[in-house]
Chain A
Amino acid sequence: MFFIKKIFLFFKRELKLFFRNIVSIFSNILFFFLSIFIFVFALGADEQNLKSIGLGIIWSLLVLSSTLSLRKFYEEDFNNGVLVIIHMRGISYELIVFLKILSHFLFVQVPFLISIPVASLLFNLPIYEVYNLIFTFIIGSLILSCLSSMSASMNLLNKANFSIGGIIVLLFSVPVIIFSVGINEVDSDFKSLINILIGMALIFLGISPWASAAFIKLALRNK
């Protein structure tokens, strides 16, 4: 019972921090929208052209936008010792990471869902592609949260060149983009591609708590 209460408290704290940092979440969404506008203006008014490459652009910008808040994933909780204190109160680092991934998915990635239909309008995407985009983004963003967790924990002591963290996320997000965009191709097998995406999400959800916890422990030893 106490354990469930601790997990509930963890999410309550994350929710409060989300509302205190809501400006930075909106900044990420604004970055996404402005980048979409730049693409639309740069590509011109050819409706067919926009429609054919719109999905790829939206996905690429979603990945880029999600790397903006990468640094905040663990940095403050690591630097001020909150991670150690939470661990000392009976929650393993692996579970802390798992809860952090879920809260990142809920409080950082999910707000992007609101922006997807609006962005799709700018590229004049057909309605079934918008549905597919929303569906694949829900699964893909969970993978991105796992990747962000691993990348952020890997770079906890890296004060000089944090861009490497973004590079790691971008590199590993390529398969996510391939399968997510591929769903809309005429001859693609929707069910198989969705199953592959779900499989990837489950694999990352299984691996990343252990990997990130190992990186956090390593960083704590060298702090």
Chain B
Amino acid sequence: MLLINNLSFFRDDNIIFENLNLSLGNGQITQIRGKNGSGKTTFLKVILNILSSNTGEIIWEGQNVKKNIFKFYNEITYIADHNTSSRELSILDNIKFWKGLSSSNLSDDKIFSLLETFNLKKYLNTEIMYLSSGEVKKLELLRIVLEQKKIWVLDEPYNHLDDSSAEILNQTFVDHTNNNGIILFASHYNPLISKLEILDFN
């Protein structure tokens, strides 16, 4: 279980969020909603320890995340609001890099089937710079499945996706939560997922 206790973050004396409490259990999916500038991305970055909170603590499996950061990172994967694929490398090069880096044991057959699902298999040897925004986004989403981590943290995962791809993403989320995974994402999109919980930042 991921526990967030009394978390506050200030920037130049402006309160971005204050005394925030949240618990995320196995199989739970939570969406952060809020208007632009309400602190959704900042909150995700604080959870990932990219930014340091002013007060409060984050506990994962009974241990303070800051003191056991690499243990926590071993359980978590992150999709930012921008694409982390290298523009000059092909889809295959990026996949090989992410797979090796996360020590994933996902089989090649499974990876090819995911590429087929996201309609990316035909661009396997195409450099990322030649793909559309939606296709790059789908590759990013493929990375979270590829990395096989328990906690998924995603910032605007539905951006640039068409309806059918959004539907695939919804199903991927459901499959992950059914396997006791934990998902926390920030988005303006309202997905149709039955057990979705909302954290309102407005």
Interface residues of A (CB under 8 A from B): 2, 5-6, 9, 12-13, 16-17, 20-21, 76, 79-82, 84-90, 220-221
Chain B: residues with CB nearer than 8 A to chain A?
48, 50-52, 70, 73-74, 76-78, 80, 82-89, 93, 96-98, 100-103, 127
What is the bound-complex CA distance between A21 and B127, given in angstroms? 13
Most buried by A among B73, B89, B97: B97
DSSP class of B's interface residues: helix, strand, loop or mixed?
A: loop
What are 19 pairs between A and B in contact, CB < 8 Å? A13-B93, A16-B93, A20-B127, A80-B83, A80-B84, A80-B87, A81-B82, A82-B86, A84-B48, A84-B80, A87-B73, A88-B48, A88-B73, A89-B73, A90-B70, A90-B74, A221-B50, A221-B51, A221-B52
Check A85–B84 contact: CB distance below 8 A: yes
**Nearest A residue (CB) for B102:** A89
The answer to whether B101 touches A86, judged by C-beta atoms less than 8 angstroms apart, is yes
Query: Which 6 pairs of residues, A with B, have the shortest CB-CB distance?
Result: A20-B88, A9-B100, A89-B101, A88-B73, A81-B84, A81-B80
- Are A9 and B82 also in contact (CB < 8 A) when A16-B89, A89-B73 are? no
Once the chains are docked, how many angstroms separate the CA of A16 from the CA of B97? Answer: 11
Set B82, B96, B97, B103: member contacting A80, Cβ < 8 A: B82
A221 vs B82: C-alpha distance in the bound complex, in angstroms? 16
Shortest CB-to-CB span from B60 to chain A, Å, is 14
Inter-chain contacts of A89 with B (CB < 8 A): 73, 101-102
Nearest CB of chain A from residue B128's CB, rounded to whole Å: 10
Instruction: Across the interface, name the chain B residue whose C-beta is closest to A2.
Output: B103
| A2 to B97 CA separation, bound complex (whole angstroms) | 13
Chain B contacts for A88, CB-based, 8 A: 48, 73, 76-78
Taking the closest CB of chain B, its distance from the CB of A223, in whole angstroms, is: 9
